[in-house]
Each structure stands twice: as C-alpha cells, then as structure tokens.
C-alpha cells in the first residue's frame, strides 16, 4: 500500500490531462468545455466512457476512432501522460494536500501554455494572467507546511520576476516580437516569482541552452528551417523551470549576496 498515493496522483493527473485536452481543443473555438469530448471530431459518433479512458483507450484503439477509423490526435495521450507525470512530481515535491493543490494548478497552467504555444505559437493572455496571480500568491504564501503560511518576501524574491523577464522583454521589443514572442516576457515574470532569483536564473539559462541546441539541430537536419523560423520559446522556459523545480538544479546558490 506504500505507493497508493503515488498511483492516485498519477490517475488524478490523467483525468485532469483529459480535461485539459478538451480545453485545448475548445479554447477560442466558441464551443463549451462542459460538452466534454462527447463526439468523434471526424464522424460525430457519440463516444462512450470506454472510448474516453485516458491513455488506455488511445492504446487499445491504436489511435483511431472505433466507429470511422479516423486518426485521433496524438495530443490526447501525450497531454494525459504529461499531466500524470507532473502530478506525480508535484506530489513527491509537495506532499501536503494544500501544497500539492497549489503547485499542481501551477503546473497544469504551464502545461496548457506549452501545448497551446506549440500549436499556435502564441500564449493566451488568460492563461498568463492566471499564472501571474498564482506567482504573486507564491510570493507571500507558502503551503508546504500543510497550512496557509503568510510571510513577507525579501527584496530579491520581489525582484526575481522583473530581473529575469527583462532580457526577454528587451529581445521582444528590439526584434518587434520576431526573435522572442510577446508572451514570453510575461511568462518569465511569473516563473521568476515562482522560482526565485537563483533557481529562476538557472532555469532561464537552461532554457536558452536547450533552445539553442535544439534550434541548431533543427537547422542542420531540416532544410526548410532558417535562423528566422519562429520557434515557440515557452516550452523551453517551462522545461528549464521543470528541471530546477523538481530536480533542484541551482547554478547560483553559492552567490553570497543571496544568502
Ligand atoms: Zn469517428
């Protein structure tokens, strides 16, 4: 029974992941999320519970609609698996219920932003707004003791967001949004406040390294891609944040003025 809570975290993650998929496919289309994924997008056949089990239905149906054989987007199982793994990581990092709830919400908003940015190369302002509110909450409230613990943030915690976001905002401004999208600065503002200066700085460096490596690989192996091709940057910012938040990589923790 040792792993009961871990398994519960995984299962809960897949359920939220499938809701997130519905949200991602419906967002800005005018269709209600409350409808759920009730019909096949191709043949409009009503889908039943056994067609909609996260991850498993996709595998059992080999990625095709049971009724018309149309391909089901690989996004469904990928987002469900990602949400499940994030749920587990959040549980391992923040095992109390309140802290798990808060950070799981943060990571689901980040997952939404990543997938949306990959699909549309833009970050919806509503998602950035929710994340900004959560990051401001994290500046003055900690949930890790299992209760709501309010505190006064030090000056470096307050400056972390603006300091880390500034280079990205400047990049957007000087390139008029071509080198760096307008949504990346505000996203980094929230990440800076959520992670703090040293972890946030480490995450930002990791994002640039991973982004640059992947960009070069793509240019080498794909002829169509040039230095000017628009690469969504939010996924790299979030992967950097993921590495520091869950695996505690910190390049700067020895900096004396931050002790
Ligand atoms: Zn169908």
SS (H, E, C) the chain: CCCHHHHHHHHHHHHHHHHHHHHHHHCCCCCCHHHCCCECCCCCCECCHHHCCCCHHHHHCCCECCCCCCECCCHHHHHHHHHHHHHHHHHHHCCCHHHHHHHHHHHHHHHHHHHHHHHHCCCCHHHHHHHHHHHHHHHHEECCCCCCEECCCCHHHHHHHHHHHHHHHHHHHHCCCCCCCCCHHHHHHHHHHHHCHHHHHHHHHHHHHHHHHHHHHHHHHCCCCCCCCCCCCHHHHHHHHHHHHHHCCCCCCCCHHHC
Domain boundary among the residues 41, 60, 93 is at 93
Write the CB contacts of 96 (distance below 8 Å, at least 6 apart in sequence): 143, 144, 145, 146
Predicted confidence band of residue 221 (pLDDT cuts 50, 70, 90): confident
Q: Is the pLDDT of residue 76 over 60?
A: yes
Same domain flag for 55 and 142: no
- 126 and 6 assigned to the same domain: no
pTM, two decimal places:
0.92
Using the mean position of ligand 1's atoms as its centre, give its distance from the Cα of residue 66 in Å.
7
- Are residues 83 and 129 both part of a single domain? no
CA–centroid distance, 60 to ligand 1, in Å, is 15
Query: Among 27-31, 133-137, 178-182, 191-195, where is mean pLDDT lowest?
Result: 27-31
Whether residue 152 is found in the same domain as residue 109: yes
Distance CA 238, CA 108 (A): 11
pLDDT, position 81: 97
pLDDT one-digit tens code per residue, 11-32 = 999 999 999 998 998 887 766 6
Domain identity same for 129 and 44: no
Rounded distance from Cα 72 to ligand 1 centre (Å)? 9
Distance, CA 42 to ligand 1 centroid (Å)? 5
Q: How far is it, in rounded angstroms, from Cα 140 to Cα 199?
A: 18
129 and 174, same domain (yes or no): yes
Quote the ligand 1 centre to 19 CA distance (angstroms): 20
Give the rounded percent of residues in the chain with a pLDDT score beyond 70: 91
Question: Which pLDDT belongs to residue 199?
Answer: 96
Clarify whether residues 22 and 107 are in a common domain: no
- Is residue 176 domain-shared with residue 254, that is, in the same domain? yes
Of the given ranges (49-53, 67-71, 94-98, 128-132), which has the lowest mean pLDDT? 49-53
Measured in Å, residue 74 CA sits from the centre of ligand 1 at: 15
- Count: domains in the chain: 2
If phi > 0 it is left, if psi is from -120 to 50 it is alpha, else beta; for residue 196 that is left
CA of 10 to the centre of ligand 1 (A): 28
Q: How far is the C-alpha of 57 from the C-alpha of 132, rounded, in Å?
A: 35
194 and 74 housed in the same domain: no
62 CA to middle of ligand 1, Å?
13
Same domain, 60 and 26: yes
CA of 52 to the centre of ligand 1 (A): 13
Q: How far apart are the CA of 16 and the centre of ligand 1, in A?
A: 23
Same domain, 81 and 110: no
What is the span of the domain harbouring residue 257? 97-259
| Cβ(21)–Cβ(75) below 8 Å | yes
Identify whether residues 115 and 218 lie together within a single domain: yes
Q: How far apart are CA 98 and CA 79, in angstroms?
A: 24
Confidence category of residue 232, pLDDT binned at 50, 70, 90: confident
Q: Among the three residues 42, 77, 93, which one is the final residue of a domain in this structure?
A: 93
Last residue of a domain, one of 93, 125, 152: 93
pLDDT at 183 over 80: yes
Q: Compute, in angstroms, the gap from residue 127 CA to the centroid of ligand 1.
A: 31
pLDDT at 103 over 90: yes
pLDDT of residue 244 exceeding 90 = yes
**Mean pLDDT for all residues in the chain:** 90
């Amino acid at each position: 029974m040792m792993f009961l809570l871990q398994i519960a975290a995984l299962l809960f993650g897949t359920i939220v992941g499938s809701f997130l998929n519905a949200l991602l496919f419906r967002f800005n289309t005018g269709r209600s999320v409350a409808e759920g994924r009730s019909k096949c997008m191709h043949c409009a056949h009503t889908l039943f519970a056994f067609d909609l089990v996260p991850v498993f239905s996709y595998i059992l149906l080999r990625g095709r609609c049971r009724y018309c054989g149309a391909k089901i987007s690989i996004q469904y199982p990928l987002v469900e698996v990602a949400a499940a793994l994030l749920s587990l990581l959040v549980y391992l990092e923040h095992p109390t219920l309140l802290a798990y709830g808060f950070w799981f919400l943060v990571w689901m908003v980040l997952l939404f932003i990543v997938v949306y940015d990959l699909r549309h190369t833009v970050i919806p302002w509503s998602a950035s707004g929710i994340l900004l509110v959560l990051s401001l909450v994290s500046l003055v409230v900690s949930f890790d003791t299992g209760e709501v613990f309010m505190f006064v943030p030090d000056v470096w915690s307050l400056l972390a967001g603006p300091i880390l976001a500034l280079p990205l905002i400047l990049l957007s401004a000087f390139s008029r949004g071509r080198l760096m999208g307008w949504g990346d600065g505000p996203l980094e503002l929230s990440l800076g406040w959520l992670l703090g200066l040293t972890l946030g700085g480490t995450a930002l460096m990791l994002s640039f390294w991973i982004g640059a490596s992947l960009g070069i690989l793509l240019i080498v192996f794909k002829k169509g891609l040039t230095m000017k091709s628009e690469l969504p940057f939010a996924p790299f910012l979030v992967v950097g944040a993921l590495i520091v938040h869950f695996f505690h990589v910190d390049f700067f923790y020895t900096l004396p003025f931050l002790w």
